Chains A and B, each alone.
Chain A
Amino acid sequence: MAYVHVFLGHFAKDMNREIVQLIREKRQIVLDQWKGYVLSLFPSAMKSATPIAQAIEHGLGDVLDSFETTPEKRTAALSGVIRILAVQSFSPSKSMSVFFALRSILREIGGSGKRQIKQKHWDEFQTSMEQLTLEAFDSYMVHREKIYQLKVDESLRQSFMTRRGTRA
């Protein structure tokens, strides 16, 4: 448990500043590529201009911005993206791959141009990304559980008067 505690705490206080700076400088490029990856998981006709694509872009942007904010805001940002992924036709593992994709995108962008980020920064970032992915998995499960709860709630609403009569 102690390990988990240290592990979870790491992200909140020490997201690598070099990587945060990279995201800040290249935000639109990162976002475009990341959104492109997420849309590629959908059936072929999911275009950039659809409400789903816009919501995904908005949510992914919030996740990128959350690297500089509080854990609460990051959780809310993650929820915005995962809420969409959790009801799609693709598998849970594909949904989680979204966060591995971010790491690859950042490595590619960070490895090009004048800026060369040192390996130790990537190593630190790797830990943060693992934490983000675990949080995303938690959020995914919360949303799947919520869908089952919605089914139960709906059934209860349909029999509202019957149940009330039974109680009486």
Chain B
Amino acid sequence: MPKFAPKLSELKKEFEEKPGLLKGDYSDKEWWEIPVEFRDGNWCYPTKPEVLEDLKFANPRKWSPTDDDWKLPDGWEKTIKEGMKDRVERFRSFKLFLDTCVRCGACADKCHFFLGTGDPKNMPVVRAELIRSVYRNDFPLAEKILKGFSGSRKLTPEVIKEWHMYFHQCTECRRCSVFCPFGIDTAEITMMGRELLNLIGVSNNWILNPVSNCNRTGNHLGIEPHTFVQNIESLVEDIEDLTGITVEPTFNRKGAEVLFITPSGDVFADPGVYTMMGYLLLFHHIGLDYTISTYASEGGNFGFFTSNEMAKKLNAKMYHEAKRLGVKWILGGECGHMWRVVHQYMDTMNGPADFLQEPVSPITGTKFTNAASTKMVHIAEFTADLIKHGKLKLDPKRNDHLTTTFHDSCNVARGMGMFDEPRYVLNNVCNSFHEMPENTIREQTFCCGSGSGINTEEYMDIRLRGGFPRANAVRHVKETHDVDSLVTICAIDRATLPALMNYWNPGVSVYGLHELVGNALVMDGEKKRTEDLREDPMAGFEDEEGDED
């Protein structure tokens, strides 16, 4: 008997005493008759009308999830049904996932939102049922005939409210799909659910405002090219102050060998900017011939949380810029969903990139055959290859003030199978790395609880609940190994894990992998280093008395 398995007496007690679907107020009712309640902390601000107008999306209006009337457009039921029919026909995965589930429940306790909230509609199987129940009412012939026996229901405004609530309590992390015997990917169900909601103007401003910005300027914050350059030049000055080294990034330079694209969070937000400083130091260290685009100035793609078409449109700028600048291949920074889009969709969405070459490291000669199709290499792979070939001068003692663990970002780990490269890099740039428990890392990693565009402050309560399983695993290594630094390779992680750690594990800070690389790099001609890239003192490198800068 597993240590934590509930005892029979506990299960009996729960069944008899706790409110549930089969008893009390909800006895004799269907699961979907439990009402959805929107209250502060469990909903995101709806998309502003001007944002929807800018994107030419449906039904721009002022509304709130707490309103009784969501002001759905005339004929919205038809729009949803036709939208579902269209997607069932276009996306075979969607049809398969709707048809094949046998409700075995293997996915149920794998979802971080279910574990963190206990809400049965957060079981992936039930989340998918939110759509399946409508699908069965109108589509498969046998089930249309057997209405009432097949768990089908009519499409009502209450269904839309339920979809909005629970398709935004799924971060598309795909942990459930690892455990599903059929490989059903609930993330794709959620993606379809959100697409359908967008058809009738039910969406979140935190997702669509960045989409609109990205559509206009190339990045989520809407930073204009000159400000984008200014920010990076400001980081260049910081690097010079700390190390005495002047790094020289170039922008929109035609003929560079490599185009470097990273999430814009690395250019404007704390702590992402320190990761950016790490990249810049690394490229200077190896003399990489690279350039940064002020148009392809965003690796992230919130279009991916909106619709297939919008994901494609926002992604297209990567290849456009690579072609315009005439580079040989693309190097990508630390990001989560950017890599899912690049790895699983970009080639067929906007490829083939036959104007680029199969990526070859100009420093080691390594051919990245795994990127032969997309022509885009992940920076963790690139750096791991440099270290493997002894091309970096590293002093891991410079990170001795940090005791680290590593959070596998869902999209990089489960989305593209990258587990060992970041760990290899981390183990070479610091002396104190401790793994979290086995069932919370690698392909079983727990999500930060804020991915897929729900990382907005008004949603903090839900995020803290959904992020609890990840925080709980960090707590374990904090207590057993005094871990104080959570290293990750995702911009949304860097943006959201600080809040999660501050609440559940005060004293644990969040770092990007290449920030630690930047700390450890021994640069030719550098001045004596006493502080890391955050200007925190490095243990064992303090100024001695009488030292001068």
Contact = CB atoms under 8 A, between A and B. Distances in A.
B268 A50 contact: no
Interface in A147-167: 147, 150-151, 153-162, 164-165
B225 interface: no
Contact of A43 (B13, B118, B457): B118
Given A45-B123, A89-B117, A162-B268, A153 B502 contact: yes
Nearest to B465: A87
B54 interface: no
B448 to A, nearest CB: 13
Contact of A161 (B7, B269, B458): B269
Nearest to B498: A157
Contacts of A40: 17-18
B424 interface: no
Contacts of A154: 457, 495-496, 498-499
Contacts of B469: 51
Interface in B1-44: 2, 4-7, 10, 13-14, 17-21, 39, 42
B117 A150 contact: no
A87 B461 contact: yes
A102 to B, nearest CB: 18
A49 interface: yes
Nearest to A49: B4
Nearest to A162: B268
Contacts of A157: 269-271, 495, 498
A48 B6 contact: yes
Interface stretch (B108-116, B348-356, B369-377, B518-526): B108-116
B464 A87 contact: yes
Given A44-B19, A50-B115, A158 B14 contact: no
A84 B461 CA distance: 11
Nearest to A143: B503
A50 B457 CA distance: 26
A151 B457 contact: yes
A49 B6 contact: yes
Contacts of A101: none
B366 interface: no
Q: Is the interface of A mostly helix, strand, loop or mixed?
A: helix
A159 B504 CA distance: 24
Nearest to B19: A44
Given A55-B472, A161-B231, A45 B114 contact: yes
B502 A160 contact: no
B498 A153 contact: yes
Q: Is the interface of B mostly helix, strand, loop or mixed?
A: helix
Nearest to A55: B472
Contacts of B117: 42-43, 89
A39 B18 CA distance: 9
Interface in A122-168: 143, 146-147, 150-151, 153-162, 164-165
Interface string B113-142: 011111110010000000000000000000
A147 B118 contact: no
Interface string B457-469: 1101100110011
A153 B21 CA distance: 40
B464 A165 contact: no
A162 B227 CA distance: 9
Contacts of B13: 36
Contacts of A151: 457-458, 460, 499
Interface in A46-77: 46-52, 54-55
Q: Count chain B CB atoms within 10 A of each CB in A45, A48, A147, A154 and give the residue with the most.
A: A45
A44 B6 contact: no
B230 interface: yes
Q: Count chain B CB atoms within 10 A of each CB in A48, A157, A158 and give the residue with the most.
A: A157
B472 A51 contact: yes
A83 interface: yes
Contacts, number: 116
A104 interface: no
A143 B460 CA distance: 13
Contacts of A156: 270
Nearest to B117: A43
A45 B31 CA distance: 13
B352 to A, nearest CB: 36
Given A47-B6, A164-B234, A155 B468 contact: no
A28 interface: no
B498 A45 contact: no
Contact of A44 (B42, B120, B495, B499): B120
Nearest to B455: A154
Given A46-B118, A55-B472, A161-B234, A150 B502 contact: yes
Q: Count chain B CB atoms within 10 A of each CB in A40, A143, A150, A164 and give the residue with the most.
A: A150
A87 B449 CA distance: 14
Contacts of A49: 2, 4-6, 109
B503 A44 contact: no
A147 B460 contact: yes
A87 to B, nearest CB: 5
A62 B74 CA distance: 57
Nearest to A51: B472
Contacts of B4: 48-49, 54
A88 interface: yes
A31 B468 CA distance: 22
Contacts of A87: 461, 464-465, 503
Contacts of B472: 51, 55
Contact of B116 (A39, A52, A150, A161): A52
B118 A153 contact: no
A44 B230 contact: no
B261 interface: no
A161 B221 CA distance: 12
B413 interface: no
B273 interface: yes
Interface string B145-160: 0000000000000000
Given A150-B503, A153-B502, A161-B267, 9 more contacts: A40-B18, A49-B6, A52-B116, A52-B118, A87-B465, A150-B502, A155-B457, A159-B269, A162-B268
Interface of A: 36, 39-40, 42-52, 54-55, 83-84, 87-89, 143, 146-147, 150-151, 153-162, 164-165
Nearest 7 CB-CB pairings of A with B: A46-B118, A160-B270, A151-B457, A44-B20, A48-B6, A157-B270, A42-B118
10 contacts: A45-B123, A47-B118, A51-B115, A52-B115, A84-B468, A88-B465, A150-B502, A159-B269, A161-B231, A165-B231
